[in-house]
Amino acid sequence: MTRDDVESAKPNPDLFRETAKRLEVDPTNAFVVGDTVWDMLAAQRVGALGVALLSGGYGRSELQQSGAYQIYEDPADLHARLDDFGISV
């Protein structure tokens, strides 16, 4: 699903809401991984946990202020720490 599939772009939560609906997942039981403040705001607005990556050009404080639950350096850092979320691979 992409921005073209919904009426409004982030920080409106339409993209995450529709993706959750398509996956048959309650967004309040999900987390969103993103690298912008817009991702974190949209995640917060749909009720999901926002997990931020510093690879998008935003700083740690900006991502925290926009609602990030956790912040990781990059996808590899997140993958190495999935146990933070009770996920094992």
How many Cα atoms within 13 Å fall on the side-chain side of residue 65? 5
The dihedrals phi and psi of 14, each to the nearest 5 degrees, come to -50, -45
* Banded pLDDT at 86 (limits 50, 70, 90): confident
pLDDT of residue 18: 95
CATH of region 3-84? 3.40.50.1000
Q: Which structure tokens are listed for 10?
A: 């982030």
Tell me the whole-structure pTM to 2 decimals.
0.90
Q: What is residue 34's three-state secondary structure?
A: strand
Q: Is 63 left (phi over 0), alpha (psi -120 to 50) or beta?
A: alpha
Select the more confidently predicted residue: 66 or 89: 66
pLDDT digits (tens, 9 = 90+) for 21-78: 999 999 999 999 999 999 999 999 999 999 999 999 999 999 999 999 999 999 999 9
Q: Would you say residue 89 has pLDDT above 90? A: no
